[in-house]
Amino acid sequence: MNPYPDTATGLTLSWPQGPTLRTVTAAVRYRLGETSHFLCLTELNHPVRGPGLQAVWRRETAGNGHRLWLELTASGDTPIHLETADVLNVPAPDMSAPPATWRVYQNGWQSWSPTLVRRLDDSLYTDPGTPEYRAAHQPHWEPGYDGLVSSEWVTVLFAPPDCALLVGFVTTKDQLAEIRLRTDGSELTARCHLDGVLLPPGASLRTEVLWVEAGPDPLRLLEMWAETTGREMGARVPHLSPGGKDAPSPFPLAGRGKGARGWDEAPPTGWCTWYYFYGENTADDILDNVRAIAEYRLPLDVILIDDGYQTAIGDWFSINPDKFPDGMEPIAKAICAAGHRLGIWTAPFGAAATSQLFAAHPDWTVRDEEGNPVVGWVHWGVPCYALDCTHPEVLAWLEETFRRMRQEWGATFFKIDFLFAAARPGRRYDPTATRAQALRRGVEAIRAAIGDDAFLLGCGAPLGPCIGLVDGMRIGTDVDPNWHPIFRYDLSAASTENALRNSITRAVFHNRLWLNDPDCLLVRQRGPDLDLVLNEMRTLTAVIALLGGLTLNSDNLALIRPGRLKYLRQALPPTGASARPLDLFEHEMPRLLLLPVERDWGRWWVVGVINWEDRTVETTVRLSDLGLPPGRYHVFHYWRRRYLGVTDDGVILRRHQPHETAVLLFKPVSDRPDLLTTIFHVCQGMVEVAEYRWDEAQGLLHLALEKPGIQYGEIWLTAPEFWDLVEIRVNGERRPWVSPARGLLRVGLTLEGRADIEARFRVRE
């Protein structure tokens, strides 16, 4: 039942040629003693009083948008318990189109929660409806929830072709917040969850700040929200990090020069134990892979020891003697001695029922109404209880634990997992703390312990409260040896398909809220432990490379077929820049990723064209779909090493195979010899071309390629009509070349650190 009075007047928010929101109101739900109260606000800056509570609704204009929040004060002599605060409620928002045509951005609660742009009339989204799913992905579930689209912290409503509405909280540290839309379009609500916290007499509380904005481009609105929230929350991205972009970083520059937004730090690379060994690895397995990395000269920095080294969740210094007979220190020293950085996985906000930690400190857990410890999650069949991160002893233990890992083991990369446990509902030591505040206090304790120069990666994390504390964030479910999830109806289940969808639909968060982690890259051959066919593995490689975030491999490199490593090398180093999902608001599974690249010497566009279907299709890619300027473009098909010719309109992929991502390069046609592409990286020149010079008088094209490690590849050059290639030299030595098509030249070389290439041309008389 809608508790808002039918006679409420409220505000009207409107935009020219855009949406109109009429009868906009706000509300607070709270308890005074055992009695529940509902307080509705219809006017700005006008105090409204209810029993024991005063509320004021505030607004600031911001360009064409509005910033809204509530200020709440316990005005009586008795403390009150705050439940929810609706900063905005709109009956039947007017989007100038029927709700059945709307597309709605639905952002999941935590890392693994499904995220996509849903159609209200017919969506691929399904709700398994199990208690386990609700606990992991629906923190605000209540009866009647099935009739809602709930998006955490932000949504964008889009009515094609050009009516978009952004509703998003730009502060996120104190309350969990969601945007609710009824699936029939009859009500839109922006709600902060206050979790029944105690507000003592005379005390005040402010909700998170909501931003409401409209425009014709829904993707740009979502990007603007991420940029604004990152600034408000002090996001730890290179151009916003403490100390500015010149602040010291433990992770060296991997790319060449600065990216499109001006950063000069690149996302970490590394190797992870999980997706081959699944916790069964020994210390010797890790050392074998460290040696393989050196043998193959793979530019992987971090060695991440994932789950399985500990005897129980919570007992992080009780090392499994069967897997690590000499403890953690020797393996940590060996990793650092080999020139790598040690990464450690933990699930810091849980204590297994079998752990020494829980046995010694059962009072450290969140409690339910009956006083029993709240289960955070079940880990391989063992309940793990949620730690109370408002308890001072828990915070002290967290700081001590992570300080020891930093000082005694030398870890500088920390992956903290299952973070949602700290935000489980229940009773806490501090009754005035919300679930969001409890989670944030725990992450703050870890950040204080590891120092500002360590890399902190969140996972299984409610996203908002972590902004400004973590350096990286997993933004999708686990990748998996299978393309489709075992249970197709569960979009949160581990699978490569689900992981990639979330990574694409949250691509806008990268370098705005943190560095995105799309999860690990798997390139090993198909076999008993991996069921990805070649096209699926290439799609995983292409999407990770185009999104430009963390790039961690998780194969057994000691046993891998060496030829498969070319795919790993082609994704390294990460560019730091993310492609844009151009059709995010058109398809629930976005198909077009566009990465613009601009250098002093040229510009080009790398496009990922994804076929999510289980069948071969014909796909047309038009320049107008990509937003490219009018002109003539060379087109190169990366995986097939095929030149598709020159176009001023588009290309047709006549046999676009199942689960294949065609990586296409579009480069403007030049009237002189030019570099078309290199195949050393999926992004084709973005990271490996260090120098480019054209000497018109001598007809000399000079290129310098730089890339860590060793790799065989090719460069492709274009020679317009009347230009002939005289010779090409690589590091001073003449090399043969082939001409795959008229005006096209190709030469192969081994890039070992750096290669200088000179191609001399002459004008045909």
Sign of the alpha-carbon dihedral angle for 116, 121, 125, 128: positive
Rounded to 5°, the CA angle 504-507-510 comes to: 150
pLDDT (0 to 100) of residue 254: 31
User: What residues act catalytically?
Assistant: 417, 478
| Strands 602-610 and 80-91, bridge-based pairing | unpaired
Please report which confidence band the pLDDT of residue 2 belongs to, taking 50, 70 and 90 as the band edges.
low
* 671-765 fold: Immunoglobulin-like (2.60.40)
Tokens describing residue 534 = 């070649």
pLDDT (0 to 100) of residue 3: 66
Long-range contacts of 366-369, Cβ-Cβ distance < 8 Å, separation of 24 or more: 366/424, 366/426, 366/427, 366/428, 367/426, 367/427, 368/426, 368/427, 369/427
If one counts every other C-beta atom within 10 angstroms of the C-beta of residue 160, the result is 13
Report the run of H or E that residue 624 belongs to, with start and end. Answer: helix 623-626
In 3-state terms, what secondary structure has residue 354? coil
pLDDT (0 to 100) of residue 7: 52
Sign of the alpha-carbon dihedral angle for 704, 705, 709, 714: negative
Indicate the residue type of 502.
N
Give CA–CA dist 397/309, Å, rounded.
20
Which residues does 139 contact at the CB level (< 8 Å), separation at least 6?
A: 109, 176, 193, 420, 423, 425, 435, 462
Is 50 exceeded by the pLDDT of residue 1? no
Please report which confidence band the pLDDT of residue 143 belongs to, taking 50, 70 and 90 as the band edges.
confident
Read off the pLDDT of each residue in 91-103 and give the average, rounded to a whole number: 94
Is 50 exceeded by the pLDDT of residue 253? no
What would the pLDDT profile of 151-180 be if each residue is shown by its tens digit?
999 999 999 999 999 999 999 999 999 999
Q: What is the dihedral of CA 516, 518, 520, 526, to 10 degrees?
A: -160
Give how far Cα 720 sits from Cα of 599, 695, 725, 763, Å: 22, 16, 10, 10
What would the pLDDT profile of 603-619 be if each residue is shown by its tens digit?
999 999 999 999 999 99
Continuous H helices in 235-328: 274-277, 283-296
Give CA–CA dist 39/372, Å, rounded.
33
Report the run of H or E that residue 357 belongs to, with start and end. Answer: helix 356-360
Read off the pLDDT of each residue in 246-257 and give the average, rounded to a whole number: 32
Please report which confidence band the pLDDT of residue 255 belongs to, taking 50, 70 and 90 as the band edges.
very low
Lowest mean pLDDT among 138-142, 306-310, 400-404, 513-517: 138-142
Give CA–CA dist 85/48, Å, rounded.
14
pLDDT (0 to 100) of residue 121: 84
- For the chain, give the mean pLDDT: 94
First to last CA, the chain: 84
Lowest mean pLDDT among 8-22, 242-256, 495-509, 541-555: 242-256
Q: Which of 512, 505, 584, 452 is nearest to 172 (CA)?
A: 512
pLDDT (0 to 100) of residue 29: 98
- Residues written for the chain: 765
% of the chain surpassing 70 pLDDT:
95
Tokens describing residue 613 = 């279907």
Q: Which of 536, 455, 40, 500 is nearest to 251 (CA)?
A: 455
Topology match between the domains 269-454 and 671-765: no
Instruction: Give the start-to-end residue ranges of the domains of the chain.
Output: 11-232, 269-454, 671-765
In 3-state terms, what secondary structure has residue 210? strand
Q: Give the CATH number of domain 269-454.
A: 3.20.20.70
* DSSP string covering 550-609: -EEE-S-TTTS-GGGHHHHHTT-S--S-PPEETTTTT-SS--EEEEEEEETTEEEEEEEE
Please report which confidence band the pLDDT of residue 521 belongs to, taking 50, 70 and 90 as the band edges.
very high
Give CA–CA dist 104/762, Å, rounded.
57
Is 70 exceeded by the pLDDT of residue 260? no
Q: Which of 120, 115, 133, 139 is nearest to 490 (CA)?
A: 133
pLDDT (0 to 100) of residue 764: 85
353 φ, ψ (degrees, to nearest 5): -60, -25
Identify the top-confidence range among 132-136, 235-239, 495-499: 495-499
Please report which confidence band the pLDDT of residue 8 belongs to, taking 50, 70 and 90 as the band edges.
low
| Strands 411-416 and 455-458, bridge-based pairing | parallel
Please report which confidence band the pLDDT of residue 733 belongs to, taking 50, 70 and 90 as the band edges.
very high
Rounded to 5°, the CA angle 662-665-666 comes to: 130
Is 70 exceeded by the pLDDT of residue 243? no
| Strands 382-386 and 375-379, bridge-based pairing | antiparallel
Rounded to 5°, the CA angle 67-75-209 comes to: 15
What would the pLDDT profile of 371-397 be if each residue is shown by its tens digit?
999 999 999 999 999 999 999 999 999
In 8-52, beta strands by DSSP E: 11-14, 20-32, 35-41, 48-50
Is 70 exceeded by the pLDDT of residue 543? yes
Please report which confidence band the pLDDT of residue 122 belongs to, taking 50, 70 and 90 as the band edges.
confident
Please report which confidence band the pLDDT of residue 239 belongs to, taking 50, 70 and 90 as the band edges.
low
pLDDT (0 to 100) of residue 6: 56
In 200-266, beta strands by DSSP E: 204-206, 210-215
Read off the pLDDT of each residue in 98-122 and give the average, rounded to a whole number: 95
Give CA–CA dist 152/239, Å, rounded.
26
631 φ, ψ (degrees, to nearest 5): 160, -175
Is 80 exceeded by the pLDDT of residue 190? yes
What would the pLDDT profile of 618-628 be if each residue is shown by its tens digit?
999 999 999 99
Task: Write out 361-411 in H/E/C secondary structure.
Answer: CHHHECECCCCCECEEEEECCEEEEEECCCCHHHHHHHHHHHHHHHHHHCE
The answer to whether 682 and 571 have CB atoms below 8 angstroms apart is yes
Give CA–CA dist 10/140, Å, rounded.
26
Is 50 exceeded by the pLDDT of residue 54? yes
* DSSP string covering 469-536: T-SEEE-S----SSSS-SSTT-TTSS-HHHHHHHHHHTGGGBTTTBEEE---B--PPSBTTB---HHH
Give CA–CA dist 765/618, Å, rounded.
43
b/e code 403-428 from CB counts within 10 Å (16+ = b): eebbeebebbbbbbbbbbbbbbbbeb
Which residues does 555 contact at the CB level (< 8 Å), separation at least 6?
A: 275, 276, 522, 523, 524, 564, 568
